Amino acid sequence: MDTITSRRNPIVRAAAALLGSPRERRERREFLCEGARLCRDAAESGVRIKACFFTPRAGERYVEYLKPILHAAEAAYTVEDPVAGLLSDTKSPQGVFCLCAWPQGGQGAHDGPCLVLENIQDPGNLGTILRTAEALGRFRVVLLGDCCDPLGPKALRASMGAVFRLGIETEGDPGRLMEGLKDEGYAVHGAVPSDRALEVTGIDFTRGRHAVIIGNEGSGLSRETAGLCGDLITIPMGGRAESLNAAAAATVLLWELSGRGEGKWRG
């Protein structure tokens, strides 16, 4: 196995370039995964691992994690600590990294309940919502408009690897998405924080196909998207104005959309 000692090594530089640049990830259709657990999770989820990098210390400490990773990896390198620093997005790196190809997209579109996220900007929120979606049912997930990258380092960590398995679709245009969903028989509900919208409990999500669209953390649904929804739904809330954060609102909506825990049996 090769050892990389120079921070100028072109293989390392190409991997490190993926860390901070959504554009780089998109153009190369690659991403960088960090951490023993998350890298093992990528390997076990069938993500293509083009290269694994680990420090000598990580090689000892995470030997059990590294087995399935190295089995799946097309190349492997040991790296010195300063080189590992280039690849890390965390304060205390574990020293295990994988350069991966984009996930294949799981089962692709299926007929389960559909979660649409529009213009979600915070990677922690996006990752948390994806993790919750995987836990609560078999959802179809679509990123609409200008969402942050689910394969960026913060979103990956928060998702606990859900992004490897969910088969996320992306769509830039609300009109085209809505048309597609309606053609497939989905009733499309836009989530808004408004007393005048329909309470989410007023809909029987266990009958028929339903899609729920959640908007940006600060500004909510875009006007265009809100206008294209079949109806607008809301979570009844007391307390003061600040109300639920984006991930908490998404959790309630996913739970209801799943038929309160029946979602895992469908799809």
Work out whether 99 is an interface residue with its own copies (CB under 8 A).
no
Tokens 């190295």 map to which residue? 70
From 7-15, 53-61, 194-202, 204-212, give the range in contact with its own copies by CB under 8 A: 194-202
- By CB under 8 A, how many residues form the interface with its own copies? 37
Measure the CA–CA gap between 36 and 69, rounded to whole angstroms. Answer: 9
Pick from 30, 34, 118, 134 the residue near its own copies by CB under 8 A.
134
Nearer to its own copies, 55 or 128 (CB): 128
Nearest to residue 161, comparing CAs of 133, 131, 139?
A: 131
Task: Pick one of 69, 72, 136, 228: the residue that binds its own copies (CB under 8 A).
Answer: 136
CA distances from 113 to 184, 213, 237, 266 (A): 12, 11, 24, 8
145 binds its own copies (CB under 8 A): no
C-alpha 128/C-alpha 62 separation (Å) is: 25
Among 25, 40, 131, 140, binds its own copies (CB under 8 A): 131
The residue type found at 196 is: R
Least Cα distance to 35 among 91, 76, 103, 82 occurs for 91
Give the residue with the Cβ less far from its own copies, 11 or 135.
Answer: 135
Give the one residue of 137, 152, 174, 190 binding its own copies; rule: CB under 8 A. Answer: 137
Stretch that binds its own copies, among 74-82, 124-132, 177-185, 214-222 (CB under 8 A): 124-132
Q: Where are the beta strands (DSSP E) in 208-250?
A: 209-214, 231-234
Q: How far is CA 101 from CA 43, 51, 179, 189, 196, in A?
A: 11, 10, 31, 34, 45
Among 140, 157, 165, 189, binds its own copies (CB under 8 A): 165
Stretch that binds its own copies, among 16-24, 149-157, 158-166, 221-229 (CB under 8 A): 158-166
- Residue 128 binds its own copies, judged by CB under 8 A: yes
Q: How many CB atoms lie within 10 A of CB 165?
A: 18
User: Burial code of 39-54, b = ≥16 C-beta within 10 A, e = fewer?
Assistant: bbbbbeeebbbebbbb
**Considering the rule CB under 8 A, would residue 102 count as an interface residue with its own copies?**
no
By the rule CB under 8 A, 218 interacts with its own copies: no
Q: Which of residues 226-255 bind its own copies (CB under 8 A)?
A: 235-240, 242-245, 247-248, 251-252, 255
User: By the criterion CB under 8 A, which residues form the site for its own copies?
Assistant: 41, 128, 131-132, 134-138, 160-162, 165, 199-201, 235-240, 242-245, 247-248, 251-252, 255-256, 260-264
